[in-house]
Amino acid sequence: MKLAQPTTAAALSERLGARLVGDGELAVTGLNEIHHAEAGDLCFVDHPRYYAPTLASAASVILIDREQDCPPGKALLVHPEPFALYNRLVWEARPPVPYQAQEPTATVGEGTVIAPGVVLGRNVSIGRDCRLEPNCVIGDGCVLGDRVTVSAGCVVGGEAFYFKRTAEGLIPWRSGGSVWLQDDVFLGPCCTIARGVSSVTVIGRGSKLDAQVQIGHDCKVGNHVQMAAQVGVAGNSNVGDWSVLQGQAGVAQNVTLGERTVIMAQSGVGRDLEGGKSWFGSPVQEARKAFRDLVKLRRLGE
């Protein structure tokens, strides 16, 4: 997420009570997790396993729990609780604000129909000729392109299902990202599209989602993708253009599906898959092999 008011590493060090190592004049223009960090971003790390990839990431400033050698062109902010400080910064950048019956910061394009019971958050942008059916929610900062249909009961831009495990329990991360539904997207009744933790969850142009589909935080769903009822895609996964996910298929986090992938009904995907193929089972195999294996199993009793 981008900060409305950029700051510097030195200013943050003083404000957060963290020890500065490296270039204090570095500008901090955004907050991000390691998967999506860009130059100018601040991210955090609090486990030795992730020190090396975080220090090697594009992030300019890193909140860290132990001092390490600072890479050239970066700054470290050393503090025993980097997650708490990072979460605090996100809460400050996106504080909770009560919904209003008529949100003054929302913009709605010509020809768009908004049914009774629809709730729009702050700084929502909705394009032309969209249809928002009763009792759907469009959260803060979400963007809808032209000719988007959001059916009854959908939630677009809900908080990510993302928690920090601590001795005291599960602490929720404040989600700083948003959602972008591109032109001609269709969401069936009761779909839920989580906002990104720090980036944008994207549903690509022309994609169609059936009822009760769940898309996790920071996912990138390509163009003209079809998902049947009760499909679930976990956070930070990518679905290639023209792919088809049949009913109740599930995709684990951090998975990439190539273009024109077909996931058959009730299959479970836990790894990256090559595009242009059909997959079946849990865990998935190429459909032809999976069906041959099923035939062999049935013959074992004979």
Q: Spell out the domain ranges in the chain.
A: 2-93, 107-291
* pLDDT above 90: residue 34: no
Region 191-214 average pLDDT: 97
- CA dihedral angle for residue 247, residue 248, residue 252, residue 258, rounded to 10 degrees: -10
CATH of the structural domain 107-291, one choice from 3.30.365.10, 2.60.40.1180, 2.160.10.10, 2.40.160.10: 2.160.10.10
The amino acid sitting at 230 is: Q
Q: Does CATH number 3.40.1390.10 belong to domain 2-93?
A: yes
- In sequence order, which ranges of the chain are alpha helices (DSSP H)? 9-16, 51-55, 82-93, 287-300
- Active-site residues, by number, are 217
- Average pLDDT, rounded, for the chain: 94
- Predicted local confidence at residue 268, as pLDDT: 96
- Bridge partners of 203, per DSSP, are 181, 221
Distance of alpha carbon 32 from the chain centroid: 12
What percentage of the chain reaches a pLDDT higher than 90?
Answer: 87
- Predicted local confidence at residue 102, as pLDDT: 79
Which tens digit of pLDDT belongs to each residue from 204-255? 999 999 999 999 999 999 999 999 999 999 999 999 999 999 999 999 999 9
